[in-house]
């Protein structure tokens, strides 16, 4: 009986472990190109699978990542994240890619984290100060000055950032190990929440004056992937 209980416990632990480590499920076929057509019948990883007979090379293709994006006035940076919504062939492959453009002298991809992905960043042009912060209780900062050709890793779920400290614009490309990594920009989430958080929460949490908190909550908080109201759209 003890042996049977032990084997059962091991089985439960193994099953729990498989769920714990499975972020994007592994494909059980060559590909499952995402489609919005509910009549496709097969539903994998939050997306319907396109009929394989109708899949083409274009489902795995994107053109234009070499084109710089206009940066926002507030951040001096802009991200162009390509997920499964941009490249349907990414579905079930656990991959996405992002281009980040930074203005000279302070363009910032602000502190943020990806709840479903680790990230590996490569600098193509310019000089960046980049890093991440470990979790409680240490809050250690791991940072480096990166130049063209340098690579840096941001672990899963940890807050990280990049700041252009050079006198010329900078460009970086990053890969993430999820088809939909998610982005939680720290300041935007806290001060730009809708509806707004009760100011007392932020006053105590951030050691700030209540009037300052209220003022911050009224400001425009631009996501790195967007242009602010002061920028010229294109």
Domains and CATH numbers, the chain: 60-227 (2.60.120.10)
Tell me what the pLDDT averaged over the chain comes to.
Answer: 87
Q: What pTM does this model have?
A: 0.83
Whether 10 has a pLDDT exceeding 60, the answer reads no
Q: Check residue 4 and give its pLDDT.
A: 52
Return all residues near 16 (Cβ < 8 A) that are at least 6 apart.
none
Backbone angles phi, psi at 167, to 5 degrees: -90, 5
The 10s digit of each residue's pLDDT in 101-139 is 999 999 999 999 999 999 999 999 999 999 999 999 999
Q: Check residue 20 and give its pLDDT.
A: 42
Looking at residues 16-27, what average pLDDT do you find? 51
Q: Check residue 40 and give its pLDDT.
A: 62
Q: Check residue 230 and give its pLDDT.
A: 54
127 near 187, Cβ under 8 Å?
no
DSSP string, 65-108: TTSPPPPPTTTSEEEEEE-TTT-GGGTTS--EEEEEEE-TTT-E
Looking at residues 200-205, what average pLDDT do you find? 96
Structure tokens belonging to residue 161: 């950032």
Strand partners, 102: 77, 170
Whether 218 has a pLDDT exceeding 90, the answer reads yes
Q: How confident is the model at residue 19 (pLDDT cuts 50, 70, 90)?
A: very low
**Can you tell me whether residue 51 is helix, strand or coil?**
coil
Token pair 């240490």 in the structure block, residue: 138
The 10s digit of each residue's pLDDT in 44-79 is 666 788 888 989 999 999 999 999 999 999 999 999
d(CA 164, CA 103): 7
The residue with greater pLDDT, 17 or 30, is 30
Q: Check residue 124 and give its pLDDT.
A: 98
**Can you tell me whether residue 188 is helix, strand or coil?**
helix
The residue with greater pLDDT, 226 or 22, is 226
Looking at residues 156-161, what average pLDDT do you find? 97
Q: Which helix (H) or strand (E) holds 190?
A: helix 186-191
Give the range among 85-94, 154-163, 182-191 with minimum mean pLDDT: 85-94
Cα–Cα nearest to 163, from 113, 107, 120 = 107
């Amino acid at each position: 009986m003890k042996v049977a209980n032990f084997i059962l416990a091991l089985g439960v632990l193994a099953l729990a472990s498989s769920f714990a480590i499975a972020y994007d499920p592994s494909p059980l076929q060559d590909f499952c190109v995402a489609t919005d057509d509910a009549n496709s019948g097969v539903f994998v990883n939050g997306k319907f699978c396109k009929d394989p007979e109708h899949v083409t090379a274009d489902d795995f293709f994107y053109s234009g990542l070499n084109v710089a994006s206009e940066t926002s006035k507030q951040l001096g940076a802009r991200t162009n994240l390509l997920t499964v919504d941009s490249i349907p062939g990414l579905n079930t492959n656990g991959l996405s890619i992002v281009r980040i453009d930074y203005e000279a002298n302070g363009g910032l991809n602000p502190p943020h984290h990806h709840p479903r992905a680790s990230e590996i960043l490569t600098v193509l042009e310019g000089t960046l100060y980049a890093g991440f912060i470990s979790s409680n209780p240490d809050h250690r900062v791991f940072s480096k000055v990166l130049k063209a050709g340098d690579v840096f890793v941001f672990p899963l779920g940890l807050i990280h950032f990049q700041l252009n400290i050079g006198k010329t614009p900078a460009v970086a490309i990053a890969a993430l190990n999820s088809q939909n990594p998610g982005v939680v920009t720290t300041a935007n989430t806290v001060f730009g929440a809708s509806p707004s958080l009760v100011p007392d929460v932020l006053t105590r949490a951030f050691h700030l004056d209540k009037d300052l908190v209220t003022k911050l909550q009224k400001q425009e908080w631009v996501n790195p992937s967007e242009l602010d109201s002061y920028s010229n759209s294109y």
